[in-house]
């Protein structure tokens, strides 16, 4: 048995509304939330090549950096053709 003390009335009301919209009792809704949160926390943490944990934020930051690099390091199509031709000469 778990007893929750001092829950703000606004939070309790939101939980009750959420429970009724999901067709659950307040206790069932709280159990559902707790079980889902625990399961999410127990997922395997993945790490990048440098040993840092991968998060949605770190992945989004990397994508943004790649987009920025693409703009600053872009090679023109005509330059690519020239590079290919030079490569064939060697």
pLDDT tens digits for 39-61?
777 667 788 888 888 888 888 98
Q: Exposed, middle or buried: residue 43 (CB in 10 Å: 0-12, 13-18, 19+)?
A: exposed
Q: Identify the band that residue 75 occupies on the pLDDT scale cut at 50, 70 and 90.
A: confident
Q: Residue 89's pLDDT is what?
A: 61
* C-beta of residue 15 within 8 angstroms of C-beta of residue 21: no
* pTM of the predicted model as reported, rounded to 2 decimal places: 0.45
What is the per-residue pLDDT for 15? Answer: 93
CA angle 33–17–15, rounded 5-degree value: 35
The pLDDT, as a whole number, for residue 20 is: 94
d(CA 88, CA 83) in angstroms, rounded, equals 9
- Tokens at 2, concatenated: 């778990």
Q: Give the per-residue pLDDT at 88.
A: 66
């Amino acid at each position: 048995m778990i007893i929750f003390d001092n829950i703000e009335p606004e939070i309790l009301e939101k939980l009750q509304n959420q429970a009724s919209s999901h067709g659950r009792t307040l206790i069932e809704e709280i159990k559902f939330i707790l079980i889902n949160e625990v399961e999410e926390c127990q997922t395997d943490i993945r790490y990048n090549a440098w040993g840092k944990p991968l998060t949605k934020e770190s992945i989004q930051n990397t994508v943004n950096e790649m987009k920025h690099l693409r703009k600053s390091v872009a090679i023109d199509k005509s330059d690519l053709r020239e590079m290919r031709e030079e490569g064939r000469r060697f």
